[in-house]
Amino acid sequence: MGEEGLTFLSLEMAPRCNARCLYCFSAHELGLRPRDALSLAEYKRVIHEAVALGLRTVVYPGVGEPLLDAKTLSLIEFCAGLGIATVVYTCGVIDEKVLPRLRACGTSMIIKMDSLCPQHYERLVGLPFGPFANSLSLILAAYRGSSEHVGSFHITRLAANTVVTRVNKNDITPVAQLCRKNGIIHFVETLSRAGAAADHWDKLVGKEYAELREIAESYGHWVSSATIDGRCGLYAHGITIDVNGDLLACPTARWIRLGNICDHSIAELIAIRNDAFPNIAEHYCAARELTVGPEA
């Protein structure tokens, strides 16, 4: 960890999802029964231990749809009671009844928004566009006025993530315009050749990686996979615990498991990770040499 300690904890929930994205990095895990899923009490213990090490933010990433796991909302409310910020990645098609609870906890949402073209959206995400469009309008209504200024910082509670591919490379501007109109931070991401993306690489990227990266960079908030450029700012200050309690080196390199919270404390797991990857503080990418990417 850096001088600020453990500031960010990523907690993966049950691998269930209502989307079937062509590029899903955890596609092989979706629908599988976890071998020994953490209980609500075990998740809370992890959070308590992390708070003692400096925890500020808990992230519920898109290994499936986190909000399909009933424990997620309970944990978000638990974190709110501890003064811990929460961030949820979502495909955006969610039960509208959860929105007031998320808003009340100050939860930030990062919404998958690959295209506003129904045909392209459905091809990439595997969901009907109509329910997504309806759910998005409900999210925007529920979160209207949620931005705030804290000191010199402007905090917004909504962000959108777009993965640029050969399918939707001409669809980015309408998404960016919708985000600007509604005060949504817009991240544009290029793919790494991992998970389902490896199986569909020619369809999604092919020989157009340089062009797709240029498109992504042109929108400002470009997100590059650490497996491509070899740098990761996240895991110098945070860790990921999967649904079984395993510490992952990173979400992309899911085969690198370094210990389990049922056998070790969070502090011990961090020490194990740092011993395994001593360059982590310099933003070293643990997965770079183990993941096949176009520029690796």
DSSP string, 231-258: B-SSTTSEEEE-TTSEEES-SS-TT-EE
Q: What are the angstrom distances between the C-alpha of 245 and each of 12, 90, 109, 180, 239?
A: 9, 21, 24, 38, 12
Domain that holds residue 12: 8-282
DSSP3 helix / strand / coil % (the chain, rounded to 5): 35, 20, 45
pLDDT at 30 over 90: no
Does 3 fall in a domain?
A: no
CA R_g for the chain? 18
Q: What are the angstrom distances between the C-alpha of 67 and each of 12, 72, 73, 263?
A: 11, 6, 7, 27
pLDDT for 55-77, tens place per residue? 889 999 877 899 999 899 999 99
Does 165 fall in a domain?
A: yes
- Which residue from 248, 252, 278, 275 is spatially nearest to 260, judged by alpha carbons? 248
Does 294 fall in a domain?
A: no
Binned at pLDDT 50, 70 and 90, residue 179 comes out as very high
Q: Provide the percentage of residues in the chain whose pLDDT is more than 70.
A: 79
Q: How far apart are CA 23 and CA 56, in angstroms?
A: 30
29: how many CB neighbours lie within 10 A of its CB? 19
- 146: domain CATH number? 3.20.20.70
Residues 25/31/32/38 CA torsion (nearest 10 deg): 90
Half-sphere exposure of 8 (CA within 13 A, CB side): 13
Does 114 fall in a domain?
A: yes
Work out the burial of residue 172: count CB atoms within 10 Å of its CB; fewer than 13 is exposed, 13-18 middle, 19 or more buried.
Answer: buried
What is the structure's pLDDT at 74?
Answer: 96
Q: How far apart are CA 26 and CA 205, in angstroms?
A: 18
Binned at pLDDT 50, 70 and 90, residue 82 comes out as very high
Residues 50 and 265 sit within 8 Å (Cβ to Cβ): no
Mean pLDDT of the chain: 82
pTM, 2 dp? 0.84
- CA–chain centroid gap for 176, Å, is 19
pLDDT for 116-162, tens place per residue? 999 999 999 999 999 999 999 999 998 887 777 667 666 778 999 99
Does 293 fall in a domain?
A: no
What is the structure's pLDDT at 98?
Answer: 92
Provide the domain count of the chain.
Answer: 1
Q: How far apart are CA 259 and CA 272, in angstroms?
A: 8
Q: How far apart are CA 112 and CA 125, in angstroms?
A: 9
Binned at pLDDT 50, 70 and 90, residue 205 comes out as very high
In which residue are the tokens 């649904």 written?
Answer: 243
Does 29 fall in a domain?
A: yes
Helix (H) or strand (E) holding 100: helix 99-104
- Which residue from 181, 182, 183, 202 is spatially nearest to 191, judged by alpha carbons? 202
What is the structure's pLDDT at 235?
Answer: 62
